[in-house]
Amino acid sequence: MDFELSDEHKLFRDTMRSFVNREIKPVAREYEHAGRYPTEIVETMKGMGLFGLTIDESYGGMGADLITLAIAFEEIARGWMGVAGILGSHGLACKMIGKWGTEDQKAKYLPGLATGQRRTCIALTEPDAGSDLQSVTTRAVRDGDEYILNGTKTWITNARFADPMPVLCKTDPLLEPRHRGMSVLLVAAGTPGFTVLRDMGKLGYKGPESCEVLFEDCRVPAANLLGGVEGRGMVQVLGALEVGRINVAARAVGVAQASYDHALAYSQQRHAFGQPISGFQAVQHKLADMATEIQAARLLTWWAAWQADRSDRADTETGMAKLFASEMALKASLDAMRIHGGYGYSTEFEVERFYRDAPLMAIGEGTSDILRGVIARSLLTGFNTD
């Protein structure tokens, strides 16, 4: 076993860390509290080629492995988790188009997506369908060379910039099992009947927009059916969500690392009873637990990424990583607030942002309870963790 990053991975991590320290950390608190979209940061990420992380080199992307992806998301989330969300939804959809798209679809979309000239996302969740994706009611009816799409999607990151927007829908709602009647349509920006209704208010995860989207008699060319064959939508989406869980797990590690970094520094600066509070055993134990659990989550995330790169299915491994890392981030962000005492509750300190950002990781790309079910089913059918 080799628990060390390769020289290429280390160089990439150093590049990402320098970018985050220079471009993101100095403005994150100001932008986040102002509700300002990080336009300048996005432009820099375009120039770095980060929008092409998951796109094959033949289409102008980086063709990066998933450990590289995990490093990118950890480092960005260490500076500002919201910025990681902009890249996350984009990369997930690009991976899906690259794996399942027709040759024409890949040639049409991937080169522009690789440079960030185009942006994308993935539209799954509905007001009455979150974890149970087979219950989506968005419907696409074939009409000659087009589909007529009707429905509502919600909590869609990058909705105002997506071109195209992959939309999970029912093309045959009568088929059983239900997933056989599900497909993904690539909806172009500006298509009549496609409307971004509003931005959703959020506790944390500020920066990227999360929107409610309406499709009302929206005509989509049949050529925009992902893969060209109906009924494969659930398989396409579930494959993409494995990558999504790696990026969310890595984001959780980044938020937890930032929480620890700030808590460690504050514990050495803050004095009480004539000494730095880092001298008190209760604080030391919190720091020790944080450092240990962060490293455990990081290694678990890298392991899941390695497994996903070498296997067609890694839902158990990615589920384990995302479950552990997200729950760990919740605890780490709370412990960082406790170490800061009253100042941890102040908007003048960064840790309150980490505390608001952390819960998203336990919800997005599969809630913790859903993932516990996924993992348990694998264990009961003979999954081997060796």
Q: What is the pLDDT of residues 74-103, one digit of tens each?
A: 999 999 999 999 999 999 999 999 999 999
CATH 1.20.140.10 correct for 235-380: yes
Instruction: Name the CA dihedral angle for 13, 18, 21, 22, rounded to a multiple of 10 degrees.
Output: -150
pLDDT category at 261 given cuts 50, 70, 90 is: very high
What does the buried/exposed string (b/e) look like for 263-281 if buried means 16 or more CB atoms within 10 Å of the residue's CB? Answer: bbebbeeeeeeeeebbeee
As a whole number, mean pLDDT of residues 279-285 equals 97
Under a CB-based contact definition with an 8 Å cutoff, are residues 156 and 119 in contact? no
Domain range summary for the chain, segments of one domain joined by +: 7-115, 133-231, 235-380
The domain 133-231 is placed in CATH, from the list 3.40.50.300, 3.90.950.10, 3.90.1720.10, 2.40.110.10, at 2.40.110.10
Rg (C-alpha) for the chain, rounded Å, is 21
Share the mean pLDDT of the chain. 95
Please identify every residue annotated as catalytic: 365
235-380: same fold as 133-231?
no
Question: In percent, how much of the chain has pLDDT > 90?
Answer: 89
For the chain, counts of helices (H) and of strands (E): 11, 8
Q: In this structure, which amino acid lies at residue 385?
A: T
pLDDT category at 275 given cuts 50, 70, 90 is: very high
Q: What is the pLDDT of residues 47-59, one digit of tens each?
A: 999 999 999 999 9
Is the pLDDT at 33 greater than 90? The verdict is yes
Instruction: Write phi, then psi, for 156 (nearest 5 degrees).
Output: -95, 110
- 157 φψ region: left (φ > 0), alpha (ψ -120 to 50), beta (else): beta
As a whole number, mean pLDDT of residues 355-372 equals 94
Q: Can you give the pLDDT at residue 313?
A: 81
Q: In this structure, which amino acid lies at residue 121?
A: C
- 231 φψ region: left (φ > 0), alpha (ψ -120 to 50), beta (else): left
Q: Can you give the pLDDT at residue 179?
A: 87
Neighbour-count burial of 66, counting CB atoms closer than 10 A to its CB (0-12 exposed, 13-18 middle, 19+ buried):
buried
| Superfamily of the domain at 7-115 | Acyl-CoA dehydrogenase/oxidase, N-terminal domain (1.10.540.10)
Q: How many CA atoms lie within 13 A of 101 on its CB side?
A: 23
pLDDT category at 234 given cuts 50, 70, 90 is: very high
pLDDT category at 298 given cuts 50, 70, 90 is: very high
pLDDT category at 3 given cuts 50, 70, 90 is: confident
